[in-house]
Amino acid sequence: MEYRILIVDDDPAIAGLVRIYLDHEGLECDTAADGAEGLSALEKKEYHLVVLDVMMPRMDGIEFCRRVREDRSIPILMLSAKAEEMDKITGMMTGADDYLAKPFHPLELVTRIKSLLRRTYQYNRPAERRTDGEIRIGPLLIDSRTHTAEVNGRNLHLTSKEFGILHLLASQPGRVMGAEDIFRQVWQEHYFDSNNTVMVHISNLRDKLEREMNERILVTVWGVGYKIDG
C-alpha cells in the first residue's frame, strides 16, 4: 500500500527536512504552511497521516486537530517545541494519536510515523478477532478488517489509538484491564507510572461512545482499570 503524508508546519526548513526523510522511505508527501491550508489540502486529496506542528499563524495545530476530528479519523502526529506533560495531554485531548517534542531526531520521527501507519492500516491481533473480524455489542459494531466502529450505522470517527483501546476491551467484555496493560498492548511501548496518555484517550473514547449510544458501556473500575460492559 502506498501512503500519502501531509506535513503541516509554518517553518519551511523543518517541513523540508521531514519531507526529505519521508521521501527517502518511499512515502509521498505534501506540505501546508498552517492549519487553514492543511484543511484545504485534506478536502482536495486523500492522505493517510498528518504530521502537525502546534504553533502556527492563522490556525494553530490544536484548532486544526479539533476541526479534523469533527469528521475524520486520519492519524495525526503532533510536533511541538514545548515538552511539558500538560502540553502533551492537551494535544492528545484534541485527537492527536502521537506527540513528538522539538528538537527531534528525524529517524525517530520516521519510526513514529511508520508505527502509526502500521497500527492504523495493518492492525491485526488474531487472538482477539472473531472469525468474521467483527464484534457487536448492542448497537455498537467494531470491525477490525476496516479499522472502524459504528453505532447504528453512524461512524464514531475514532483515532487509531481509540480504536485500539475499544477493540482490545471489547474483545474481552467484562474483563478489567489496567492502564499499564492497555498502553503496552495498544502503544506497544514501555509504560511509565506518570503516563496519563491512556486516561486521556479513554476519556475521549467514552465521550464518543456515550454521545452516540446514550449509555455508558466503557466503565472505570477505580484503582484497577477499565472494562467494556457487554
**Domain interval for residue 145:** 126-228
Q: Pairing mode, if any, of strands 134-137 and 140-143?
A: antiparallel
Same domain? 79 vs 144: no
Positive or negative CA dihedral for 201, 1, 80, 62? negative
89 φ/ψ angles, rounded to the nearest 5 degrees: -65, -40
Distance set, CA 206 to CA 7, 29, 188 (Å): 29, 33, 22
Q: What is the pLDDT of residue 125?
A: 39
Nearest to 59 by CA among 37, 41, 80, 40: 37
- How confident is the model over 129-144, as a mean pLDDT? 80
Report the alpha-carbon distance of residue 39 to residue 167 in Å, rounded: 29
Indicate whether 109 and 174 sit together in one domain.
no
Whether residues 69 and 145 fall in one domain: no
Q: Is 45 helix (H, G, I), strand (E, B) or coil?
A: coil
Instruction: Tell me which of 88, 121, 154 is where a domain ends.
Output: 121
Residues 61 and 164 in one domain: no
Mean pLDDT score of the chain: 85
Pick from 105, 121, 137: which residue ends a domain?
121
Q: Is the pLDDT of residue 128 over 60?
A: no
The reply to whether 42 and 25 lie within a common domain is: yes
- The answer, yes or no, to whether residue 48 has pLDDT greater than 90, is yes
Same domain membership, residue 148 and residue 66: no
Q: Do 187 and 207 fall within a single domain?
A: yes
If asked whether residues 91 and 62 sit together in one domain, one would say yes
Copy the grid coordinates of residue 171.
474483545
Q: What pLDDT does residue 225 have?
A: 87
Does the predicted model carry a pTM greater than 0.85?
no
Q: Which residues contact 204 (CB under 8 A, 6 or more apart)?
A: 92, 93, 95, 159, 162
pLDDT higher than threshold 60 for residue 123: no
User: Cα–chain-centroid distance for residue 202?
Assistant: 12
Return the higher-pLDDT residue of 131 and 71. Answer: 71
Does residue 216 sit in helix, strand or coil? Answer: coil
Is the confidence at residue 101, as pLDDT, over 90? no
Q: Are residues 114 and 12 in the same domain?
A: yes
What is the tally of structural domains in the chain?
Answer: 2
Most confident of 31-40, 92-101, 185-194, 195-204: 31-40
By percentage, how much of the chain surpasses pLDDT 90? 46
pLDDT at 168: 94
Q: Note if the bond before 57 is cis, omega within 30 degrees.
A: no
